[in-house]
Amino acid sequence: MKYLMTGGQMKMIDRYAMKEIGIPAAVLMERAALGVAGTVEALAGELCAGQGAEASENAKAVRICAVCGTGNNGADGIAAARILHNRGYRVIAVIAGDRQRQSEEFCLQCRIAEKLGMDLVEWKDFIPGKYDIIIDAIFGVGLWRPVEGQYREAVRMINGAGAKRVVAVDMPSGIHSDHGQVMGEAVRADVTVTFGYRKLGSAFYPGKEYCGELKLWDIGFPADSHGHIGEEIPAVTYDGEDLKRIPKRPESGNKGTFGKVLVAAGSADMGGAAYLSALAAYRMGAGLVKIMTAEENRDRMQQLLPEAILAAYRPEDAREDPEAFRKAIERECAWADVIVLGPGIGQGEGTFELVRGFLTSAYVPVVLDADGLNVTARHPELTQYFTENIIVTPHVGEMSRLTGISAEDIKKEPAAAAADYSSRHGIVCVLKDAVTVVSGRDGQCYVNGSGNSCMAKAGSGDVLTGVIAGLLAQGLEPWDAGTLGVYLHGLAGDAVRRRQGAYGMLARELADQVGRIPLPDCGAK
């Protein structure tokens, strides 16, 4: 598990390291500068690769320009430029900003650089030229308002200079460190060297794209720094180590051991979503899967997934015999360990009664998805039946219908939108987008780093619902099932893309791939 920090949280970590632990600011800054300088030096070597024995010497002729603000990010840039200057590189530092508002650390770095004979040029005296590598050290994580004036000119110069590589210090200037939005203008970096912790804004688009390749550099923050950000809970993302949290399958287990998933999905002659969710639940390891679907889908479901149990119903029964319809739902709820509710059920007759019946009768975890969410959006009184066992899995459009917030505003700050919905209803919210966010009822936030655009296909969300249900069936709590389900779903998409490219994936291939992911300590090879 890796932490993702906001700009405000990073300021608290800086303060903890310097004030409470006693690490001098200059020490942290020098380590940061070494990371940037080392990255630039490696890029210079790459630009001169293939030039034989002369490559190392030619790299010293690479033209480097550091564009620096007058705060601590600019001080990092000045220090990195000074290190490169001392190593024999051709480097110039350009100061973009108000010298009357320079930080103490910036002033110190300028004095050191000047004593060593490095060129420092004020923005008003700077004549843009041709540079091979540009270092962006204007703002970092401190930006909170749109880029204007001299700073806007500097950002445009960096983007338009035609440099072979652009290296951003901590965050590309103009990208908000909390949510990744462009604040008027922003630098497009090829590489971003970030310090201590990844920044939350680097995990979301467009910030993720503007960062380019992200390099995390250790500058010496204490290992427990993430616990010194006040009452705030830092966002997290996962890596391969987190797969160890999936329960090991006991060799003595049977189909009942691994849980029973009920998939209530699929309107008449529209059974694809039900099939994909059920298939994914099986591929994720559920022991038994039952599909409760419209009668018209029975034969097709038996052909597509003979391993599943079928429980067909007629939507009109909700009107013609509501008592029998309610009892049928209660029977299915009593059978299930986990319920998937909503994929492909449509908006027709009986859907409201179906959703209400399950929400009022279920005493097990429920994954509410797709049309189940749309029914809830039309009938918000259904949220009164939400319990801590509910996981909702809306995409941005469904989230907009649930909350009344525009899709555009949700996409600007998805973590905030998901957190608000989770806290208001006491549930887990999986907000699906190019970067999926999972929020917990106690303020937890997970930002997914796996997956890719080949997964933007019909049925991909139905597969995710089944994956989450399969994990719930094996005993995971809603928060863990939601976060690990999203991560595994993305890993499967990445594997499909590596195997067959970015365009041709089908949702059923994604479900099949979930079952091929090697899980630690689970017997997979």
Distances (CA, A) of 290 to 90, 451, 457: 68, 28, 25
User: pLDDT for 313-355, tens place per residue?
Assistant: 998 988 999 999 999 999 999 999 999 999 999 988 899 999 9
Mean pLDDT of 502-524: 86
Q: What pLDDT, on the 0 to 100 scale, is given for residue 270?
A: 93
Mean pLDDT of 59-88: 95
pTM: 0.94
Mean pLDDT of 12-18: 96
Instruction: Identify the CATH class of 256-514.
Output: alpha beta
Mean pLDDT of 500-505: 94
Q: What pLDDT, on the 0 to 100 scale, is given for residue 55?
A: 59
User: pLDDT for 440-480, tens place per residue?
Assistant: 999 999 999 999 999 999 999 999 999 999 999 999 999 99
**Whose CA is closest to 469, among 508, 428, 436, 433?**
428
DSSP state of 247: P
Q: Please say whether the beta carbons of 447 and 492 come within 8 A.
A: no
Q: Please say whether the beta carbons of 466 and 281 come within 8 A.
A: yes
Q: Which residues face 297 on adjacent strands?
A: none
Which single residue is written with the structure tokens 């600019």? 74
Which single residue is written with the structure tokens 């830092």? 234
The pLDDT-based confidence of 51 (bands split at 50, 70, 90) is low
Q: What are the two backbone dihedrals, phi and then psi, of residue 10, each rounded to the nearest 5 degrees? A: -65, -35
Q: Which helix (H) or strand (E) holds 129?
A: none
Q: What pLDDT, on the 0 to 100 scale, is given for residue 97?
A: 85
CATH 3.40.50.10260, domain 2-237, yes or no: yes
d(CA 269, CA 479): 34
Q: What are the boundaries of each domain within the chain?
A: 2-237, 256-514
d(CA 377, CA 326): 22
Give Cα 335 distance to the centre of its chain: 35
Respond yes or no on whether the N-terminal peptide bond of residue 206 is cis (omega within 30° of 0): yes
d(CA 348, CA 368): 17
Distances (CA, A) of 91 to 60, 87, 133, 219, 377: 10, 10, 9, 23, 58
Mean pLDDT of 154-158: 96
Mean pLDDT of 210-234: 95
Q: Please say whether the beta carbons of 64 and 84 come within 8 A.
A: yes
d(CA 485, CA 109): 47
- Beta-strand pair 191-195/366-368: unpaired
User: pLDDT for 409-429, tens place per residue?
Assistant: 999 999 999 999 999 999 999
Q: What pLDDT, on the 0 to 100 scale, is given for residue 232?
A: 87
The pLDDT-based confidence of 54 (bands split at 50, 70, 90) is low
